[in-house]
Amino acid sequence: IRRMLNDPKAEALSKNFLPQWLNYRTLAVAAPGEPDFDESLRDAMIQETELFFDSVLRENKPVHELLQSNYTFLNERLALHYGILRVKGSHFRRVMLSEDSPRGGLLGNASVLTATSHAIRTSPVKRGKWILESFLGVSPPPPPPNVPDLEETEKGATTPLSMREKMASHRKNPVCAGCHSMIDPVGFALENFDQTGRWRNVDPSMDPIDVSGELPDGAK
């Protein structure tokens, strides 16, 4: 196995297997409504994920580093997107992260965070479903037909609803509640990341983001 991993052909694991497993191939055609999103940022997102996975594999790191690590791979373009200022140049290098950084591990990679979002907003449903399927091996049933869109405001109100309020209103439908009780808490855990994976503490309405949740078994 060590001999095979040292062969250049082993790159197929990060370039072919990885995007199939994590289902971020849609990033190639994603068009987030962000003025600073361009091809160089898209390519950098993909390269970070490939280099990180490849390093865990070739260096025989513990498997839990896929979810929690103290390093990642960045160039200046992606580092600025993350708010990390000490990286210069277009080439990628291993960057050690601060203890409080949210970037360590695949769940902090902009590639998967962008691929599991809509163009102009995040999607706790897409992200929650992605975590369940990719990491826990659980496939929620498909949504029933004619599921209504999320309500943007309460009837009679003028203030836009927060994402959590929209989802709470959506779950009032008994047909939707069962699956969402499993999907939503996991997806909301990533709400501090916006639709292109940048960190934020408030939502578009400038309200503090609540990432707490409770799983169906009562675990918080």
Residue 9 is predicted with a pLDDT of 92
Q: How far apart are CA 27 and CA 114, in angstroms?
A: 7
Q: Is residue 197 within 8 Å of 113, Cβ to Cβ?
A: yes
User: What pTM value is reported for the model?
Assistant: 0.86
What letter represents residue 204's amino acid? Answer: P
What angle do the packed helices 124-135 and 174-188 form, to 10 degrees? Answer: 80
Q: How far apart are CA 129 and CA 121, in angstroms?
A: 16
Q: What is the DSSP string of the chain?
A: -HHHHTSGGGGHIIIIIHHHHHT-GGGGG---S-TT--HHHHHHHHHHHHHHHHHHHHTT--GGGGT--SEEEE-HHHHHHHT--S--SSS-EEEEPPTT-S-SSGGG-HHHHHHTS-SSS--HHHHHHHHHHHHS---PPPPPTTPPPPPSB-TT--SBPPHHHHHHHHTTSHHHHHHHHHHHHHHHTTTTB-TTS-B-SB-TTSPBP------TTS--
Q: How far apart are CA 102 and CA 84, in angstroms?
A: 12
Structure token pair of residue 175: 């047909």
pLDDT in tens, the chain (220 residues): 889 988 989 999 999 999 999 999 989 888 888 888 999 999 999 999 999 999 999 999 999 999 999 999 999 999 999 999 999 999 999 999 999 999 999 999 999 999 999 999 999 999 999 999 999 998 888 777 766 666 554 445 556 777 777 766 656 666 666 677 889 899 999 999 999 999 999 988 888 999 998 888 898 9
Convert 155-187 into a string of H (helix), E (strand) and C (coil).
CCCCCECCHHHHHHHHCCCHHHHHHHHHHHHHH
Please give the distance of CA 183 from its chain centroid, rounded to a whole number: 14
Residue 153 is predicted with a pLDDT of 46
Among 196, 180, 191, which Cα is nearest to 129's? 180
Residue 154 is predicted with a pLDDT of 46
